[in-house]
Amino acid sequence: NRATPPRRSSSASSSSSSIRCSKRSARMRTGLVSTLSLLNTPRSGVARMQSELVQLTRETTTGRFADVGLELGARTGTSARLHIDTAALAAIADMNGLAATRLSETRAALDHVAAGADAFLEQLILGRDAAAWPQAQTDSALQSLIGDANATGSGGYLFGGINSAVEPLADFDAGPKAAVDAAFLARFGVAADDPLAAEIDPADMADFLDNEFAALFADPEWAVWSSASDQPIRSRISPTETIDASVSANQTAVRKLAMVYAMTAGLGVGGLGAETRQVVADKAIGLLGEANSDLTSLRAGVDVAQGRIADATERVMLQKSILENRIATIEGVDPAEAKTKLDMLSVQIEMSYSLTVRLMRLSILNYV
């Protein structure tokens, strides 16, 4: 009799069948997950590469790190201080440009004032002994001085000092004329345009010009003429240097010129006696000489200030260039390396797009 082989239990057979089914099911799921991963992997990488592309493009364009703080770490404070110092030097250079422009305009106005004084001096010399007094020329010279003193530029009145928002000199008829007429009347008992003024003694006129009339152009009476400030505009031309960057209408030269023009235009000189008129003319000629000397000093001071600004600006720009080079050393990127990375990343992005398109075109229908 043959031996009958033992039968497998039903539980063992069921377990073996379950294992085979599980393996087949696992293989089927693995295939589905693998296809999805191939499709999503290029998509997930594109966003990261696009972000890197933006940073590399910025670095290639600017020549510095896209995120300076991230790249420098603890050295970020040094970089920030260098930027602050550079900005301060740039601001000084800009202010120097404004100060230089203001002084250039001031110099031109002073030149015009000096030219007018020279021309008027010639007229006075000719009119001293002439039968007719050059009243029209004296009136014009007075108005010309007021116009030059009220010249504007660089956003304000050039001769106003720190009070550059207000006209420095008042119009003669707006106040100064009344003060001159009052002083004349108080001294001689007649108005300047009264025919009796022809009888004024030359010595009395000389004393009046040296005292009561001269006092009108000294403080505090000068306030009737001028609204300018004695304090000039100060300008910082370097981290350690400041200068006067304006000229005030309260300078002695301007006061003497105002005295000359007011004297010859507002005292009715044409109606005075010949000798008295010569006293006025001689006084005016002497004051014009003094005023011209003072104007020369003022113009020389402006020239010196312009030279100091030019020298200071050159030093400031040199310091700024040194700081900018230090910043470039700390924050700068290698242009060639950045360009190479940018090109490689662009190729990777193009390949990723191409792969994504090809995967999206895959369809089982193409193989049925």
Encode pLDDT of 188-215 as tens digits.
Answer: 999 999 999 999 999 999 999 999 999 9
Q: Domain with 271 in it: what CATH number?
A: 1.20.1330
**C-alpha span between 254 and 291 (Å, rounded):** 7
pLDDT score for 179: 95
Q: Indicate whether 94 belongs to any domain.
A: yes
Q: For residue 139, give its domain range.
A: 76-326
What pLDDT score does 358 carry? 64
The count of structural domains within the chain is 1
Q: Side chain identity at 244, as an amino acid letter?
A: D
Q: How many CB atoms lie within 10 A of CB 297?
A: 12
For residue 195, is the peptide bond before it cis, meaning its omega torsion is within 30 degrees of 0? no
Per-residue pLDDT of the chain (368 residues; tens, 9 = 90+): 444 545 544 444 454 555 554 555 445 454 444 555 555 555 556 666 666 666 767 767 776 766 666 666 767 788 788 889 999 999 999 999 999 999 999 999 999 999 999 999 998 988 888 778 888 999 999 999 999 999 999 889 999 999 999 999 999 999 899 999 999 999 999 999 999 999 999 999 999 999 999 999 999 999 999 999 999 999 999 999 999 999 999 999 999 999 999 999 999 999 999 999 999 999 999 999 999 999 999 999 999 999 999 999 999 999 999 998 888 887 767 676 667 776 676 776 666 666 666 666 666 666 65
No. of H helices and E strands in the chain?
Answer: 10, 4
Provide DSSP, 132-187: S--HHHHHHHHHHHHHHHT-EETTEETTSTT-TTS-SB--GGGTHHHHHHHHHHHH
- Residue 12 in any domain: the answer is no
What CA–CA distance (Å, rounded) separates 267 from 260?
11
339: alpha, beta or left? (left if phi > 0; alpha if psi -120 to 50): alpha
Any domain includes 31: no
Residue 177: inside a domain: yes
Alpha-carbon distance of 228 to 206, in angstroms, equals 30
DSSP state of 131: S
The pTM (predicted TM-score) of the whole model is: 0.74
In a domain, 53, yes or no: no
Evaluate whether residue 335 is within a structural domain: no
234: helix, strand or coil: strand
Specify if 180 maps to a domain: yes
Give the contacts of 231 (CB within 8 A, at least 6 positions apart).
161, 162, 248
Q: Give Cα separations from 285 to 105, 251, 321 (angstroms).
A: 28, 19, 54
User: E strand or H helix at 237, and its extent?
Assistant: strand 234-238
Q: Look at the block and give the residue holding tokens 């001769």.
A: 159
Does some domain include residue 150?
yes
| pLDDT (0 to 100) of residue 130 | 78
pLDDT of residue 67: 63
